[in-house]
Amino acid sequence: MSFRLPKFPMLTVFHNPSSDISVQALKLLKAASVKYNFEIDLIQTKTQAPTHQQVSNIVEYLGNGSVEQGCRAILTPEAPKASTVSEVQKILDANPGYLRKPLVVDWNKGKAIIADPATKVSEIVKDVGESR
């Protein structure tokens, strides 16, 4: 993912194409992208973790001010427990499959959600194009 500001608002989706929930969330995002005029940066991978900077930001966004809460939210339930960003990064570097998906991130707004159930995408798309 490029850190240049896009021409249009953009959401990044960390996607698992073999998950029905992830497929549903992506379908809903694609429909919403037409209505709300944003682009989708789709990351379809089970083998590549987000960058360390992305992990740090996502933990912050998911935790709403609580690093510990963000660390719990970003990892799947079967992942080893982590209470710091560096612990999360080590876990994901060793096994990217521990990243919860579908994970939707609005880097410009500083927001992230785990779209499970898939209908949770509505929480992030409604103001994607609006100013902060």
pLDDT value, residue 127: 79
Q: How far apart are CA 102 and CA 48, in angstroms?
A: 14
Cα distances (angstroms) measured from residue 23 to each of 2, 11, 93, 116, 130? 24, 16, 24, 11, 26
pLDDT value, residue 78: 96
pLDDT in tens, 24-79: 999 999 999 998 889 999 997 676 778 999 999 999 999 998 999 999 999 999 99
Predicted TM-score of the model (pTM): 0.88
- The answer to whether 3 and 120 are in contact (CB under 8 A) is no
pLDDT in tens, 29-44: 999 999 888 999 999 7
Q: Which residues of 97-112 are buried (b: 16+ CB within 10 A; e: fewer)?
A: ebbbbbbbbbbbbebb
- Output the CA torsion sign for 64, 54, 11, 16: negative
Mean pLDDT of the chain: 89
Per-residue pLDDT averaged across 106-113, rounded? 94
- Output the CA torsion sign for 39, 122, 112, 22: negative
Domains and CATH numbers, the chain: 10-125 (3.40.30.10)
pLDDT value, residue 132: 43
pLDDT value, residue 36: 87
- pLDDT-derived band at 21, boundaries 50, 70, 90: very high
